[in-house]
Structure 1
Amino acid sequence: MKKRKNILITGASSGLGKGMALEFARQGCNLALCARRVENLEILKKELLEINPSIKVFLRSLDVTIPEEVFEVFRAFNQDFKDVGEKLDRVIVNAGMGKGASLGTGYHKQNMQTAVTNFCGAISQFEAALEIFRAQNDGHLVAISSMSAFRGYRGPINVYAATKAGLASLAEGARVDLLYKPIKVSTIFPGYIQSEMTDNVAKKPPFMIDLDKGSKLLVKAINKEKNKAYVPFWPWYLFKLMMPFASLKMLKKL
């Protein structure tokens, strides 16, 4: 399997995006990182170059809810790599949020922010990434979904889970569309990995692993370029098999 050396990660200023960037830097990959909080990216860049001074790190501010901005930033990163004699190998669609609450309880604005960021923003990222990959007839598109994508959830996870289900479907559709072409599309389903999002949850989720371990496992799964991967595999693959059989009463307790 070919080595993907030049990687674009959205939502890279914190959480899984930051963790993956650190791990890819250890592997000697050049990185194009974007997020709304560019000041965090500047701090991260220093960390990355301390890990591996030989890599290239490009930064740009990006709000994935603005389609024109997504295309502009992706094309600019693509040109950055061309300027140093490289090409964009992989795009990781990671940007997302988990704001919101039960439907009809006064949190429409927050629920819509989550929907637009996680799903509509992903469509723009897919479009911009695949425009580049189709032109060069090569590339690896990675969608960071969630183990919550397999069933509906109550409360603040309702809209979040729906967007992650939509993202998984979007990725599978792209995978079908690109069948027999030298462009790979992978969907990653993380379980509970420590991040800013999990830090804001009052009750610690079960089977949660720390960010460093989770990031290593995510990168390992991404590098294998399988159609789908569950991270960590145990116990989450078993969870995926069991979820279709869970009753509504069981889901209510989650």
Structure 2
Amino acid sequence: MTAKNILITGATSGIGHSLFKHYSRKGDNVIACGRNQQKLDEIASQAHLTGQFDMTIPSEIETFSKSVESLDILVLNAGNCRYIDDAKNFDGALFADVIETNLISLGWLLQFFLPKVRKGGQVVFVSSSATLMPFQRSEAYGASKSGIDYLANSLRLDLIKEKIDVTLIHPGFIKTPLTDKNDFPMPFLLTSEQAALNIAKAIDKRKEYAHFPKRLTMLLKFFSIMPNWIWRKMIIKG
């Protein structure tokens, strides 16, 4: 089987790192991207190429993109999660930071890497099951991930003529350095390795949409069609 050229953002930790290990073991040419040069150095021997850049700085993305020739799969995985702890005294700076990191940066990544995705290739967006219904404190995170959903679903239509598939992923709670900061219960928590296997299966099958674990995501989908007063009573605290 011919090795594929796969670029993964956020490849130094969490889901991105587990995806990196999965595709490296398969013998694919993995381009690992992240901000932490030390961590990139640690995995460089297993990578086809590593790229150190800040996704919110277009010039850094552009500079690295010049070293990438062609891609079979572009995995847009990196992101951040910060919560609005006091809605009445809304933190506009925090909101802007999350939107820029999780959503606006994707525009720059697409500008510089999408032209390198060959016909018959694939673009993968790692979003979140948090977009299935609203949650407290998630104004910034949820808005950014909902934007990713629309971006992916719209882009899919425009890339049909290019014969490039778009896959949208909705993970549930995944144990990563990011979620380790959460101070609330995370039902049906999966490891990043389990998440990576689910994502890889969806990519292999060229699915338009994948969500997991289904015990959680199907429950959220069910709650979302219930009358508002019912699910609000169940999730609102304080």
- The answer to whether the superposition gives a TM-score over 0.5 is yes
After superposition, residues 180-191 of structure 1 pair within 5 angstroms as 180-191=161-172
- Report the equivalent of 2:77: 94
Identity of aligned residues (%): 28
For residues 1-254 of structure 1, the aligned pairs below 5 Å read 5-46=4-45, 49=46, 56-78=47-69, 87-102=70-85, 103-105=87-89, 107-133=91-117, 136-155=118-137, 157-245=138-226, 247=228, 248-253=232-237
Task: Look up the SS of the partner of 1:196 in the other structure.
Answer: coil
Alpha-carbon distance change, 61 to 242 in structure 1, aligned in 2, over 3 angstroms = same
Deviation at 1:123, TM superposition (A): 1.7
Would you say the 8 A contact 1:100–1:108 is kept in 2?
no
Question: After superposition, what is the alpha-carbon deviation per residue over 1:42-69, rounded to whole angstroms, capped at 9, x for unaligned?
Answer: 11334xx3xxxxxx52111111111232
Shift, 1:162, TM fit: 0.9
The 8 Å contact of residues 11 and 95 in structure 1, kept in 2 or not, is answered as: yes
Do the aligned partners of 2:133 and 2:220 also contact (CA within 8 Å) in 1?
no
Displacement after TM superposition at 1:104 (Å): 4.3
Asked if structure 2 preserves the Cα contact closer than 8 Å seen for 1:115 and 1:163, the reply is yes
**Higher percent of residues as strand:** 2
Decide whether aligned partners of structure 1 residues 101 and 57 sit closer, same or farther in structure 2, where only a CA change above 3 A counts: same
Worse-superposed segment, 111-120 or 64-73: 64-73
Give the secondary structure class of the aligned counterpart of 1:77.
coil
Give SS of 1:154's match: coil
Give the letter aligned to residue 131 of structure 2: A
- Cα distance in structure 2, aligned partners of 1:14 and 1:73: 20
Contact 1:151 1:244 (8 Å CA) reproduced: no
CA RMSD of aligned residues (A): 2.3
Residues 76 and 106 in structure 2, CA contact (< 8 A), matched pair in contact too? yes
- Give the total of aligned pairs: 234
**Residues in 2 aligned to 1:153 and 1:73: alpha-carbon distance in whole angstroms:** 37
Aligned residue for 1:83?
A: none
Q: Deviation of residue 125 (structure 1)?
A: 1.6
Distance 2:235 2:110 in 1: 31
Give secondary structure in 1 for the equivalent of 2:190. coil
Unaligned runs of 5+ in 1: 50-55, 79-86
Map Cα deviations across residues 55-104 of structure 1 (whole Å, 9 max, x no partner).
Answer: x52111111111232233233222xxxxxxxx311110111000232434
C-alpha contact (below 8 Å) 1:18/1:44 kept by paired residues: no
Letter in 1 for 2:109: Q
* Residues 140 and 186, structure 1, Cα contact 8 Å, conserved in 2: yes
| Alpha-carbon contact 2:53-2:61 (below 8 Å) kept | yes
Shift of 1:252: 2.2
CA distance in 2, matches of 1:170, 1:69: 23
In 2, Cα distance between the equivalents of 1:208 and 1:142?
A: 22
